[in-house]
């Protein structure tokens, strides 16, 4: 049985780990700290799959019903 | 004279518009063939209209969402059980289902799965009735009652199981498999009867009536084949494609089966989606289930309100309920919590601990009679000293 990628499921949007520079520009755009972002647990199946660690920020590209495509950010926590 | 695609693209690329409005804008202007001046005017009007339809700063988005979902909720039928389409599967709908969703129940009252089948070629599961039926029997839990009669022989201290050959063939299970499974699950002697066809005899480990009766009871709970908890599987043809609907839910197990399309298979159990597919999938699932429930009742609620609710429920990385043990119970303010439920115990606990209420939220400020921090109440004037003044004062050592 081949392992399938969770990210292929129609309910799961695209998750990617953000680079330092990208993160900085997002945080300065909204005038916030990293800790003020929404959270995602490190045990989350998708986080395990993309291999993010605690303290990383993942960028989620959601398919939105209203905006077409929307970016969302989550901080990986314990 | 109309402008080219690249000009349109360069003119619109710096606009802060959502991607689908941007797309429509680009496509429509390209098709209509507008001049540069017209394009400028269109952009100006689109931006104006977009700003107009955006939510205003300090607007009480949460209260509006609560009212927008709550009001149609009053028109919902209190107790509705419905059959999902032609597939005779009973699912909770209406208000009870909506409450179930926002309460983030671990197990919904009627769990149900929609299993999409793979359709890579013409002969694949989704187009083949026999393959689909066989898969359905693999998934559906088979118990001893489905394929046999169980009788207790008190005089010989035995359990006699008479298997029905037809039922066994239908479910594609053999007498050896049944024997093996029973052997595995129970710590007793299981034998295939040598004289009578399709008969299994079970002897308890010690010859006592208690043991025998307990055995007769526990044999009914064993799942011989299939996934535990899947009570029924219904095959339905939708368009060209066969789809399976199940009563009971076990997403993780079902995804392991060959022939199941793992990208489109889903369940109505949000907690299960959270465990198998993660928090973002759970958020999407909350939105889908809530809108479907409301739409089924003929109510239209703007999806933005439901999106706000599901964002709030999932913002901490786990599915939280809206209520005492979730969002309302986690508020920082003592007054806000006391205003929601179990007032006295909240106030008493806070008093004993010596809690401080910072009066930052809405509820607590209404309680003490101050302007709330919403709308115009959230606008403050901050005076900015001129730089030269600061310098002078610094020199004076003030």
Does the pLDDT of residue B80 top 80, yes or no?
no
Chain B residues close to A6, C-beta within 8 Å: 277-278
pLDDT given for residue A1 in this prediction: 43
Rounded to an integer, the average pLDDT of B180-197 is: 78
The whole-angstrom separation of Cα B320 and Cα B102 is 9
Does residue A56 fall inside a structural domain? yes
Give the number of domains in chain B: 2
The whole-angstrom separation of Cα B26 and Cα B358 is 49
Range of lowest pLDDT (B50-59, B122-131, B311-320, B345-354):
B122-131
Chain B residues close to A37, C-beta within 8 Å: none
Highest mean pLDDT (candidates A73-77, B189-193, B222-226) = A73-77
Give the number of domains in chain A: 1
Per the CB < 8 A criterion, the answer to whether B244 and B117 are in contact is: yes
pLDDT given for residue B347 in this prediction: 92
When pLDDT is cut at 50, 70 and 90, the band that residue B211 belongs to is confident
- Edge-to-edge order in the sheet of strand B199-203: B148-153, B158-163, B199-203, B189-192
When pLDDT is cut at 50, 70 and 90, the band that residue B134 belongs to is confident
Residues B117-142 as b or e (16 or more Cβ within 10 Å = b): bbbeeeebbbbbeebbbebbebbbbb
Inter-chain touch B255–A15, beta carbons under 8 Å: no
B387 or B174, which is more confident? B174
The whole-angstrom separation of Cα B126 and Cα B333 is 54
Residue-wise pLDDT for B346-390, tens only, equals 899 999 999 998 888 888 899 999 988 888 888 888 888 777 665
The whole-angstrom separation of Cα B300 and Cα B289 is 14
pLDDT given for residue B6 in this prediction: 85
Rounded to an integer, the average pLDDT of A23-32 is: 92
When pLDDT is cut at 50, 70 and 90, the band that residue B86 belongs to is very low
User: Which residue of B258, B278, B285 is in closest CB contact with A46?
Assistant: B278
Rounded to an integer, the average pLDDT of B301-328 is: 90
The whole-angstrom separation of Cα B354 and Cα B59 is 33
Does residue A4 fall inside a structural domain? no
A45 touches chain B (CB under 8 A): yes
* d(CA B273, nearest CA chain A) in Å: 9
CATH number at residue B156: 3.30.1360.140
Among B16, B35, B53, give the residue marking a domain's end: B53
CATH number at residue A39: 3.90.940.20
Inter-chain touch A62–B281, beta carbons under 8 Å: no
Among B177, B204, B225, give the residue marking a domain's end: B225
Rounded to an integer, the average pLDDT of B196-213 is: 80
Rounded to an integer, the average pLDDT of B196-204 is: 80
Per the CB < 8 A criterion, the answer to whether B273 and A11 are in contact is: yes
Measured in whole angstroms, how far is the alpha carbon of residue B261 from the centre of its chain?
A: 19
Does residue A5 fall inside a structural domain? no
Rounded to an integer, the average pLDDT of B262-284 is: 93
Inter-chain touch A9–B277, beta carbons under 8 Å: yes
Range of lowest pLDDT (A42-56, B59-73, B176-190):
B176-190
Rounded to an integer, the average pLDDT of B197-216 is: 80
Range of lowest pLDDT (B179-183, B193-197, B311-315, B359-363):
B193-197
* % of residues, chain B, pLDDT over 70: 94
With 0-12 / 13-18 / 19 or more C-beta atoms within 10 angstroms meaning exposed / middle / buried, residue B270 is: buried
Helix ranges (H only) for chain B are 5-12, 19-32, 36-53, 61-74, 95-102, 129-139, 144-147, 165-170, 175-185, 209-218, 251-254, 270-277, 279-296, 303-314, 334-340, 343-353, 362-368, 387-396
* % of residues, chain B, pLDDT over 90: 20
When pLDDT is cut at 50, 70 and 90, the band that residue B137 belongs to is confident
Residues B148-184 as b or e (16 or more Cβ within 10 Å = b): bebeeeeeeebbbbebeeeebeebebebeebbebbee
User: Which residue of A4, A11, A66 is in closest CB contact with B285?
Assistant: A11
Chain A residues close to B285, C-beta within 8 Å: 11
pLDDT given for residue B191 in this prediction: 78
Classify the C-alpha dihedral B321-B325-B331-B336 as positive or negative: positive
Taking all residues of chain B, what is their mean pLDDT, rounded to a whole number? 85
Rounded to an integer, the average pLDDT of B123-146 is: 84
Residue-wise pLDDT for A35-76, tens only, equals 999 999 999 999 999 989 999 999 999 988 888 889 999 999
Does residue B211 fall inside a structural domain? yes
Question: Which residue has tokens 């999902």?
Answer: B84
User: Which residue of A10, A40, A70 is in closest CB contact with B279?
Assistant: A40
User: B219 is in which domain, residue-wise?
Assistant: 142-225
Measured in whole angstroms, how far is the alpha carbon of residue B226 from the centre of its chain?
A: 24
Per the CB < 8 A criterion, the answer to whether B310 and B290 are in contact is: yes
A51 touches chain B (CB under 8 A): no
Per the CB < 8 A criterion, the answer to whether B269 and B308 are in contact is: no
Inter-chain touch A38–B315, beta carbons under 8 Å: yes
Residue A31 in 3-state DSSP? coil
Rounded to an integer, the average pLDDT of B290-302 is: 89
Does the pLDDT of residue A3 top 80, yes or no?
no
Among B174, B208, B225, give the residue marking a domain's end: B225
Does the pLDDT of residue B2 top 80, yes or no?
no
| Paired strand residues for A28 | none
Inter-chain touch A67–B263, beta carbons under 8 Å: no
Inter-chain touch B280–A62, beta carbons under 8 Å: yes
Does the pLDDT of residue B395 top 60, yes or no?
no
Does the pLDDT of residue B298 top 70, yes or no?
yes
When pLDDT is cut at 50, 70 and 90, the band that residue B121 belongs to is confident
Does the pLDDT of residue B392 top 60, yes or no?
no
Per the CB < 8 A criterion, the answer to whether B286 and B313 are in contact is: yes
Does the pLDDT of residue B89 top 80, yes or no?
no
Count CA atoms closer than 13 A to B125's CA, side-chain side: 19
pLDDT given for residue B79 in this prediction: 61
Does residue A27 fall inside a structural domain? yes
User: A50 is in which domain, residue-wise?
Assistant: 12-77
Task: Find, in chain B, the residue whose alpha carbon is nearest to that of A4.
Answer: B262
pLDDT given for residue A60 in this prediction: 94
Q: Which secondary-structure segment (H or E) carries B81?
A: strand B80-83
When pLDDT is cut at 50, 70 and 90, the band that residue B398 belongs to is very low
Report which DSSP code applies to B179: H
């Amino acid at each position: 049985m081949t392992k399938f990628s969770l990210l292929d499921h129609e309910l799961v949007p695209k998750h990617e780990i953000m680079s330092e520079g990208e993160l900085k520009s997002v945080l300065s755009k909204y005038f916030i700290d990293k800790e003020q972002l929404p959270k995602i647990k490190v045990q989350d199946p998708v986080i395990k799959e993309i291999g993010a660690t605690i303290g990383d920020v993942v960028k989620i590209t959601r398919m939105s019903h209203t905006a077409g495509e929307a970016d969302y950010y989550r901080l990986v926590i314990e | 004279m109309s402008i080219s695609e690249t000009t349109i693209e360069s003119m619109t690329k710096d606009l802060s518009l959502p991607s689908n409005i941007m797309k429509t804008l680009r496509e429509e202007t390209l098709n209509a063939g507008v001049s540069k001046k017209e394009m400028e005017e269109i952009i100006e009007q689109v931006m104006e209209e977009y700003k107009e339809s955006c939510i205003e700063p300090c607007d009480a988005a949460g209260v509006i969402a609560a009212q927008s979902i709550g009001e149609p909720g009053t028109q919902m039928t209190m107790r509705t059980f419905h059959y999902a389409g032609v597939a005779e599967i009973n699912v909770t709908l209406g208000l009870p289902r909506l409450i179930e969703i926002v309460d983030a129940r671990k197990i919904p009252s009627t769990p149900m799965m929609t299993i999409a089948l793979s359709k890579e070629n013409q002969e694949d599961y989704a187009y083949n009735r026999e393959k689909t039926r066989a898969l359905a029997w693999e998934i559906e839990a088979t118990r001893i009652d489905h394929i046999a009669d169980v009788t207790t022989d008190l005089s010989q201290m035995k359990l006699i199981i008479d298997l029905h050959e037809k039922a066994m063939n239908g479910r594609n299970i053999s007498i050896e498999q049944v024997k093996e499974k029973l052997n595995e699950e129970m710590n007793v002697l299981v034998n295939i009867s040598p004289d009578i066809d399709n008969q299994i005899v079970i002897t308890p480990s010690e010859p006592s009536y208690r043991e025998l009766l307990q055995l007769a009871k526990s044999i009914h709970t064993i799942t011989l084949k299939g996934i535990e908890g899947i009570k029924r599987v219904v095959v339905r043809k939708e368009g060209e494609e066969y789809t399976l609907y199940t009563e009971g839910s076990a997403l993780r197990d079902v995804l392991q089966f060959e022939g199941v399309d793992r990208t489109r298979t889903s369940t109505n159990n949000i907690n299960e989606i959270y465990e198998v597919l993660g928090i973002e999938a759970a958020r999407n699932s909350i939105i889908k289930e809530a809108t479907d429930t409301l739409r089924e009742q003929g109510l239209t609620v703007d999806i933005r309100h439901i999106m706000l609710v599901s964002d709030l429920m999932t913002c901490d990385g786990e599915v939280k309920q809206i209520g005492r043990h979730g969002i309302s119970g986690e508020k920082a303010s003592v007054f806000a919590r006391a205003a929601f439920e179990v007032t006295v115990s909240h106030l008493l606990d806070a008093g004993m601990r010596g809690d401080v209420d910072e009066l930052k939220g809405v509820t607590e400020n209404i309680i003490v009679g101050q302007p709330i921090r919403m709308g115009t109440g959230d606008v403050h004037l901050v005076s900015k000293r001129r730089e030269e003044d600061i310098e002078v004062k610094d020199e004076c050592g003030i």
